[in-house]
Every structure is written in structure tokens, then in C-alpha cells.
């Protein structure tokens, strides 16, 4: 396969490196890491075994050209760049797989390319970019992927098999929407509360960060679960997401929350991607990870007081870094 990787941070680089190691013709679309990857390739540090690969680096999508598969690992805050980044990579037989967090990315792609060419994937992996071209894989790595707005077809299974051949556990979901809501059960509390912990419990309970309140250190996943009050809020958000998913027709069982908590405890100290973005002053994925689920709950008539307060505090924290996040008036 000729494969284009768009968004070569920790996630895109890790999966792109796995696909390269399997013998695919993989092209990385790069900006800040271009010279590092051109000179040294990609180094993966993993408990499963370190490895080094040399994908083809590119500075523009035109330099890559039409691919068999495009894998999108961009932060969703960059989705406004889709019109310039994606069409040059796509021909009539190209599959486009977004591995982005939250809700709405497949819909954004559907304004540019035919719906039947769009796949979505959920990544269950602990990874961090430690320096240009160097990725630390901590644990897990499974992908669940599916076809956008339709059942999986032969191409969906072909893409899944390409990941399996690259050593990545990959499952095909019969219903991509269901898989999205399952992933949100983890993403909403551990990404959201990890950032909101900088504001403290009082701000979260009030749904408001006072303008001059000093910030604390963000809590890792194990710290959130070790503190009874924060753990209670983790469970509250998980319950709200599960209830919303069920109301929308996705029957997620109650014990799925405990399953995700048990998996998280296995990770040890871990800072989810949104926490790292906040610490380093980058834009936060508030719209797709928190506001879109909140909107879905509101439209479905599901009360989500924990998510409502979280959206407000995340908006206020983002504003500290100059990021303006407009929230619906009813939040």
C-alpha cells in the first residue's frame, strides 16, 4: 500500500512507523519535524521492543500525491486545514481513515470527499512524543475502526488487515457511532478532568474559574483515581456519557465504566494528550471531545451536569492561553 500520514505527532508517527516496518510505502506529511525525520527517521521506544524506520518525509501533500490509504492523526483543532491537506492525497479508490478524538471529524471530511471513502478509527494506546522523530509507546495500541454512516465493506476489512499485518491489534466495528461513544467513556473524564484538575475541585463544582485564581499542577490518570473526590467525578462523567450513548441507541453496559477504570490503572502515571497540550500551551480539543458530546446529550434530553461544568471550566482554562472557545448559551 501507498500510505500517507497526515498529522505526525505521537499517534500518527507511531502507527505510521508500524505500517512502515511492515513493508508499506509510507509517506509522512511533516512540518516542524521534517528535517529530523529526513535525517534520522522515526525511533519507537516500546516495551514490546524498540525499532527504527525510515518513512518517506514530505513537506506538502502535493509532494506525496494520491495514496491507497490516508491516515489522519491531526489534532481536531487543525480540522480547518482539511481542504488544503486532504484532497491532493485522494483519488477515486483512496480510503481515508481519521484516528482523531471525539465527534465530528468524519462529518468534516464528508464535505470534501465521498462518504463511502471515509473510515473512522478509535485508538486505545498510551504514547508520547518525547522529541522530534522519537515516540515513546507506553502501553496498549489497539485500533477499532469502522465505515462512516454505513456497515463495513471489503475495503474496511482490508485496512484493518493492513494494521494487523503491521503488528497492531485492529478490530472492525459494525457501528462506528457506537465505537465513538465507547471511546468517549474514557476520553471525556481522563482528558477533561486531567486539565480541569489545574483549576481545582471548587472551580469544577462551580463550573467557573475565577479570573485571577492561580493554577495547580495537572493530575495524571492514576492520581485522579487515587483521590476519592476526583474519582467520583470520573465515575459521574462516565455515567453521563454512557447514559447519553444509550439514549442515542448505543447500548453501552454499566460495567463498561469499571472496565475502563481497571484498564487505566494498568497504565500507571499517564497524562492524556489534552493535558500535555494544556501544559505546553497548545490549543485544546474542546469542541470535538466535550462540546459535541454535550450538544448530543442536550438534543437527546439527557441531563449532564458534570459535563456542563467541565465544558465551562475548560473554556476558562483555554482562555488563559488565548484560545477562545464559544460555548452554546445554555451551558
Domain regions of the chain by residue span: 2-174, 179-320
145 with 121: CB under 8 angstroms?
A: yes
Q: What is the pLDDT of residue 145?
A: 96
- Whether residue 330 is predicted with pLDDT greater than 80 in this model: the reply is no
80 to 120, 214, 233, 268: CA distances (angstroms): 18, 32, 32, 35
Question: Which three-class secondary structure state does DSSP give residue 269?
Answer: coil
pLDDT tier at 123 (50, 70, 90 boundaries)?
very high
Higher pLDDT, 270 or 41: 41
The residue among 193, 198, 277, 204 whose CA lies nearest residue 241 is 193
120 with 180: CB under 8 angstroms?
A: yes
pTM of the model: 0.90
Q: What is the pLDDT of residue 329?
A: 78
In tens, the pLDDT along 260-292 reads 999 999 888 989 989 999 999 999 999 999 999
DSSP state of 199: T
Under CATH, what is the fold of the domain 2-174? Answer: Rossmann fold (3.40.50)
Catalytic residue (one of 129, 183, 233, 315): 183
Percent of the chain with pLDDT over 90: 92
Per-chain mean pLDDT for the chain: 96
Q: Do the two domains 2-174 and 179-320 of this chain adopt the same fold?
A: no
Q: CB burial class (10 A; 0-12, 13-18, 19+) of residue 13?
A: buried
- Whether residue 7 is predicted with pLDDT greater than 90 in this model: the reply is yes
| 183 counts as catalytic | yes
108 to 70, 147, 169: CA distances (angstroms): 15, 15, 27
Distance between CA atoms of 163 and 331, rounded to whole angstroms? 40
pLDDT tier at 103 (50, 70, 90 boundaries)?
very high
- Whether residue 76 is predicted with pLDDT greater than 80 in this model: the reply is yes
Distance between CA atoms of 257 and 244, rounded to whole angstroms? 14
The residue among 142, 199, 196 whose CA lies nearest residue 172 is 142
pLDDT tier at 306 (50, 70, 90 boundaries)?
very high
The residue among 73, 84, 69 whose CA lies nearest residue 24 is 69
| Check whether domain 179-320 has CATH 3.90.1640.30, yes or no | no
| 114: Cβ contacts below 8 Å, ≥ 6 apart | none
Amino acid at each position: 500500500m501507498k500510505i500517507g500520514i497526515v498529522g505526525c505527532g505521537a499517534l500518527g508517527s507511531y502507527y505510521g512507523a508500524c505500517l512502515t516496518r511492515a513493508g508499506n510505502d509510507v509517506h509522512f506529511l511533516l512540518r516542524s519535524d521534517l528535517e529530523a525525520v529526513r535525517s534520522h527517521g522515526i525511533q519507537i521506544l516500546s516495551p514490546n521492543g524498540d525499532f527504527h524506520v525510515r518513512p518517506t518525509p514530505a513537506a506538502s501533500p502535493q509532494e506525496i500525491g494520491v495514496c491507497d490509504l490516508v491516515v489522519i492523526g491531526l489534532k481536531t483543532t487543525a480540522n480547518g486545514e482539511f481542504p488544503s491537506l486532504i484532497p491532493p492525497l485522494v483519488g477515486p479508490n483512496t480510503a481515508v481513515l481519521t484516528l482523531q478524538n471525539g465527534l465530528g471529524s468524519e462529518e468534516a471530511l464528508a464535505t470534501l470527499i465521498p462518504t463511502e471513502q471515509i473510515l473512522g478509527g478509535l485508538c486505545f494506546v498510551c504514547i508520547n512524543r518525547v522529541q522530534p522523530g522519537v515516540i515513546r509507546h507506553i502501553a496498549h495500541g489497539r485500533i477499532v475502526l469502522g465505515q462512516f454512516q454505513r456497515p463495513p465493506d471489503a475495503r474496511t476489512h482490508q485496512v484493518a488487515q493492513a494494521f494487523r499485518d503491521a503488528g497492531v491489534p485492529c478490530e472492525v466495528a459494525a457501528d462506528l457511532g457506537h465505537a465513538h461513544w465507547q471511546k468517549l467513556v474514557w476520553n471525556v473524564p481522563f482528558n477533561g478532568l486531567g486539565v480541569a484538575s489545574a483549576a481545582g475541585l471548587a472551580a469544577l463544582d462551580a463550573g467557573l474559574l475565577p479570573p485571577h485564581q492561580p493554577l495547580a499542577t495537572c493530575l495524571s490518570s492514576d492520581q485522579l483515581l487515587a483521590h476519592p473526590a476526583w474519582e467520583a467525578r470520573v465515575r459521574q462523567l462516565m455515567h453521563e456519557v454512557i447514559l447519553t450513548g444509550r439514549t442515542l441507541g448505543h447500548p453501552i453496559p454499566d460495567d463498561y465504566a469499571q472496565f475502563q477504570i481497571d484498564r487505566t490503572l494498568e497504565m500507571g502515571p499517564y497524562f492524556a494528550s489534552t493535558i500535555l497540550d494544556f501544559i505546553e500551551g497548545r490549543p485544546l480539543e474542546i469542541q470535538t471531545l466535550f462540546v459535541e458530546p454535550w450538544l448530543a446529550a442536550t438534543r437527546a434530553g439527557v441531563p449532564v451536569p458534570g459535563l456542563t461544568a467541565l465544558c465551562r471550566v475548560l473554556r476558562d482554562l483555554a482562555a488563559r492561553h488565548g484560545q477562545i472557545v464559544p460555548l452554546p448559551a445554555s451551558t
